[in-house]
Chains A and B, each alone.
Chain A
Amino acid sequence: MSRFSPRRGCGLLTLLAILLPGAPLLAPAADTPVAELFEARINSVLAVEFFVETETDRRPSVVIGVPIDSEGTIVLLDSSVPGWLPPDQLKDFQIYLPRSRDGIAGSYLGQDQLTGWHFIRADEGLPKEVVPVTEYAPVDPDLGMDAWGIGLLGKDFDFEPYLQKGSVSLVQKIPQEVGFSVNDLASPGAPVFARSGDFLGWAGNPIWKERHMYLENDRYNVSIRNPNGTGSFLLAKEFLPYLDRIPETATGQVVPWLGVVGMQPVEREAAKFLKIENVSAILISDIVAEGPAAKAGILKRDIILTIDGEEMPKFSPQRAVNGYIEREILRRAPGDTMTLGILRGTEERLEFTVTLGQQPKPLKEAERNYFERLGITLRELVLFDKISRQIVDSEESGVIANFVKPNTPANTAGLLAGDMVLEIDGVAIDGYSQAIEIMQAIEDDEERREFVLLISRGTETSVIRVRLK
């Protein structure tokens, strides 16, 4: 890790800017007043409004993002958009500059698997006063360094920007390097700057703060967080290199996959007991049958010690190693190999070379169909469902009732969202298209008096009779 002082960093990058035409970096004088820096940098933060459209309603959402290039691309935090939602349910993206009333139409580009970030782009580009954050010189934080960032008020305040200030209290690898300030520095998703005006990083999700609350004489332990401000930021060097990971398509991405379930860090005491306390270790709870890890010979309960001969770094908290190994997988491509050093039992050391497979269809890409008259959405069964229902190795097949409209005949009869439909009218469901065909016939038949579903919920099944008339 190279640490450099803001001034040196600034100087170095200014030098680079001179050497590399086409990459102009904006570097202010060191003593520029914060107010002046602020006025310039509010052009590097944007509010993004969109709607989540479900079967029966539309819910608005407003999040903060930063522009990253001259083509009008904006990056949003992982948490800005629910990852399990099919992209076609995300509607009407509107981009707002601070202090503006009129939105600029945008489109959703998708979510990058490695970083989790979402990307959107202004359909006709962004106004020229908008400055991509990449234009500012990046700087590494030093402990105690003054830091500040931008907050945005809500839509009714025309997204008026405001200044937030603090100083760097901690820099921690979890597993990416994240800086923390005791005070809030920016709205989640907004940029954070050094006193010099250099780019320090990207404000992350709000931080939970533990507090004691006293009511009368009773003490309560509460966790609170400010949804509009955060003191955490991903360092610039963990942010800038990944901005080229703009998804080519919002769906159908090819994602590498190891085929294991429930990776758990081996806690210190257990590691000591197993005499592996000097490395970071991760226990595999279960293996997906026929998956890449299974094919390579890895068993459930195996403990991963090394990747391609390298020990995994140690983290505090230890669970950060989960994020580390996940990124190690995701930075590869299906077909790539990964050699895993394994501890099996308490003694046996083994090595397996896994050829990564392709991740099975994620939840958000599962096919689904809404039957409006019946008020039911049926969704294709994906691996995620099988894992969460503990039926990975079973032959059970069916479709998921993904949505059930309240007070419809099906809902009154007892069907709930999340139920797995095993049979419709006594016909066993062995695939999505078959289920849709049968359900469509029911939907279209206005004379139909009833239909019967066999559903499974938890480990119980039950027969549900839906009276239509």
Chain B
Amino acid sequence: MLAGCATNGYAPAGRSEQQGFDRLLDSVVRIDVREMRFNGGSARFTSGVGSGVIISEDGLILTNAHVATRKAVEISVTLSNLERVDAELVGWDHWTDLALLRLDVDEVKRRNLTFAHAEFGDSDALSPGQTVFAVGTPHGLTRTVTKGIISNTNRFFEASDGVRGYETGYFNTWLQTDAAINPGNSGGPLVLADGRVVGINSRTYLGAENLGFAIPSNTARVVAAELGANGEVERSYVGLVPGALLDLEGFYELEINTGALVNSVDPGSPAAKAGLRAGDILLAINDQPIDGRFPEQLPPIQNQIASAAIGSELSMTLKRGQERLTVSVTTEKLESRVGEEWAFEKWGMSVRKVSRAFARENRLQDDDGVIVIDTQRAFPAAKAGLSRGDIITKVNSETIGDLEQLKGIYGEFEEDPQSLLVEALRNRSVALFVLKP
């Protein structure tokens, strides 16, 4: 599929490099997002600016997950001809920092607006030193083009809270470029001289200069297709954190370029249940040999696991000391560590559901409960003594299993305000609070 893309080429005969680049410029948009945030104990609107690139005739726009989130309530797109059109979020994937938007097609028709769409290049065919351009809206400066080179084609750069507190970079490597990328460039394309999109600009190192990172187009295309079809990318989870072997082959008596280290196994995860242990060497998954010698080889391994059907069995061949063993691991659906958020306005409290990942990270006994994000001064939650970070586990001796349940209790409170006894975990100690009308 990808090779096909490279050989087909983008610019048909007769179309010059300049024409291709001009067309690209016409497909880059500025994105203004108003979104709901649950800080300060209530729902509040905030706004931000980013970039995006139109990738289809019917107005699909690729941008970053951190530009347009699921909390967006209003997305406004400025086309290159300076017309503004509303757009909606079609799909969101924080793991690759990608989001897919769609222009309001009816409005486009009604107003007779035109736009171009960009085409993808083959990010696997890039080589360091190749000239690239970043196009976007840095600091609100619409349609800014900056120039640089590909500094590295295969950068390992994961972060457990990279996209607004969500994990990112576990399943893909990044293109690194020295083309100037500033806040607002996010979501804009990284392109070749002929305008083909080889990456979606996403991140920089804070405090560094000329260290920009983009999601490779070959990852973006696959993710965009999934987001278009399903709104999300479903992935499998086993709870295994691989580590690079580097020069540990000698210690583990392995041939070079074989196996990946099992650096960590999430407590209670499918991998833990199957008996995997940190320090094991993962030799093969479903008889396919694994090579995790260097960090940049880890995302493909993670992606291989993630790509398995949810609930399927993976056969993992391991080396443990002198022993070789094969275990069967049943995958679960991958979940974010950031649970759903909500604000209970009359209580003056915003909360986030405890996710399975959060529970495991914090060694909670189960994923019951909601975490207090914030409270509003002088409202019932704050007056009761609840504060940020508390984990509400029970209300009136009813265990809070999910957010809907608390919404139900809140609904009853709105209709008929009665004092509620709230049990919460704070610094691992249990404390009782009373929410009074």
Task: Identify the A interface with B (CB < 8 A).
Answer: 261-264, 266-267, 269-270, 272-274, 283-286, 300-301, 345-346, 390-391, 422-423, 426, 450, 452, 454, 456, 458-463, 465
The residue of chain A having its C-beta at the shortest distance from the C-beta of B426 within the complex is: A264
**B243 cross-chain contacts in A, Cβ below 8 A:** 462-463
Do A454 and B279 contact each other (CB < 8 Å), given the known contacts A459-B267, A461-B265, A463-B263? yes
Further contacts, 19 of them, CB under 8 A, given A269-B385, A346-B421, A390-B363? A261-B429, A262-B429, A269-B434, A270-B433, A272-B434, A283-B432, A284-B430, A285-B428, A390-B428, A423-B279, A426-B321, A450-B251, A454-B278, A458-B361, A459-B267, A460-B241, A461-B263, A461-B278, A463-B261
Per-residue CB proximity of B214-248 to A under 8 Å, as 1/0? Answer: 00000000000000000000000000010100111
Q: B295: shortest Cβ distance to chain A, in Å?
A: 13
**In the A-B complex, the 7 residue pairs with the closest CB atoms:** A262-B429, A270-B432, A461-B278, A269-B434, A390-B363, A285-B430, A285-B429
* A345–B279 CB distance below 8 A: no
A-B contact count (CB 8 A): 89
**A266 cross-chain contacts in B, Cβ below 8 A:** 432
**A345 cross-chain contacts in B, Cβ below 8 A:** 397
Bound Cα distance A22, B143 (Å): 96
Partner of A465, one of B247, B266, B362: B247
* A462–B264 CB distance below 8 A: yes
**B278 cross-chain contacts in A, Cβ below 8 A:** 422, 454, 456, 461-463
**A390 cross-chain contacts in B, Cβ below 8 A:** 363, 428
* B263–A462 CB distance below 8 A: yes
Interface secondary structure of A, over-half rule: strand
* A273–B264 CB distance below 8 A: no
**A267 cross-chain contacts in B, Cβ below 8 A:** 385, 431-433
* B360–A465 CB distance below 8 A: no
- Is the C-beta of B384 less than 8 angstroms from some C-beta in chain A? yes
Q: B245: shortest Cβ distance to chain A, in Å?
A: 9
Do A459 and B363 contact each other (CB < 8 Å), given the known contacts A269-B436, A274-B421? yes
Size of chain B's interface in residues, with CB distance under 8 A?
34
Bound Cα distance A391, B362 (Å): 11
Do A262 and B430 contact each other (CB < 8 Å), given the known contacts A273-B419, A463-B243, A463-B261? yes
* B433–A283 CB distance below 8 A: no
**B430 cross-chain contacts in A, Cβ below 8 A:** 262, 264, 283-286, 300-301
The residue of chain B having its C-beta at the shortest distance from the C-beta of A451 within the complex is: B251
Task: Identify the B interface with A (CB < 8 A).
Answer: 241, 243, 246-248, 251, 261, 263-267, 278-279, 321, 360-363, 384-385, 397, 419, 421, 423, 425, 428-434, 436
Bound Cα distance A267, B429 (Å): 14
Bound Cα distance A450, B429 (Å): 42
* B428–A262 CB distance below 8 A: yes
The residue of chain A having its C-beta at the shortest distance from the C-beta of B428 within the complex is: A262
A-B contact list, 30 entries, CB within 8 Å? A261-B428, A261-B429, A262-B429, A262-B430, A263-B429, A267-B385, A267-B432, A273-B421, A273-B432, A274-B421, A274-B432, A283-B430, A283-B432, A285-B425, A285-B428, A285-B429, A300-B430, A301-B423, A422-B279, A452-B251, A458-B361, A459-B361, A460-B263, A460-B264, A461-B263, A461-B264, A461-B278, A463-B243, A463-B263, A465-B247
Do A269 and B363 contact each other (CB < 8 Å), given the known contacts A461-B265, A462-B278? no
Bound Cα distance A239, B421 (Å): 41
**A456 cross-chain contacts in B, Cβ below 8 A:** 278
Partner of B433, one of A269, A285, A286, A458: A269
Partner of B279, one of A261, A269, A270, A463: A463
**B360 cross-chain contacts in A, Cβ below 8 A:** 459
Q: B272: shortest Cβ distance to chain A, in Å?
A: 11
* A452–B421 CB distance below 8 A: no
Q: B408: shortest Cβ distance to chain A, in Å?
A: 20
* A270–B421 CB distance below 8 A: yes
Q: A251: shortest Cβ distance to chain B, in Å?
A: 28
Bound Cα distance A262, B425 (Å): 10
Q: A380: shortest Cβ distance to chain B, in Å?
A: 22
Bound Cα distance A461, B262 (Å): 9
Bound Cα distance A456, B236 (Å): 25
Bound Cα distance A426, B277 (Å): 12
* A465–B248 CB distance below 8 A: yes
Bound Cα distance A274, B432 (Å): 10
Bound Cα distance A267, B431 (Å): 8
Most buried by A among B267, B360, B363, B432: B432
**A452 cross-chain contacts in B, Cβ below 8 A:** 248, 251
Q: A456: shortest Cβ distance to chain B, in Å?
A: 8
Do A269 and B428 contact each other (CB < 8 Å), given the known contacts A460-B241, A463-B261? no
Q: B216: shortest Cβ distance to chain A, in Å?
A: 28
The residue of chain A having its C-beta at the shortest distance from the C-beta of B361 within the complex is: A459
* B431–A269 CB distance below 8 A: no
Bound Cα distance A261, B248 (Å): 41
**A454 cross-chain contacts in B, Cβ below 8 A:** 278-279
Bound Cα distance A301, B360 (Å): 22
Do A270 and B428 contact each other (CB < 8 Å), given the known contacts A390-B363, A459-B266, A463-B278? no
**A426 cross-chain contacts in B, Cβ below 8 A:** 279, 321
Q: A274: shortest Cβ distance to chain B, in Å?
A: 7
The residue of chain B having its C-beta at the shortest distance from the C-beta of A346 within the complex is: B397
Q: B424: shortest Cβ distance to chain A, in Å?
A: 10
Bound Cα distance A106, B347 (Å): 60
**B434 cross-chain contacts in A, Cβ below 8 A:** 269-270, 272-273
**A461 cross-chain contacts in B, Cβ below 8 A:** 263-265, 278-279
The residue of chain A having its C-beta at the shortest distance from the C-beta of B384 within the complex is: A269
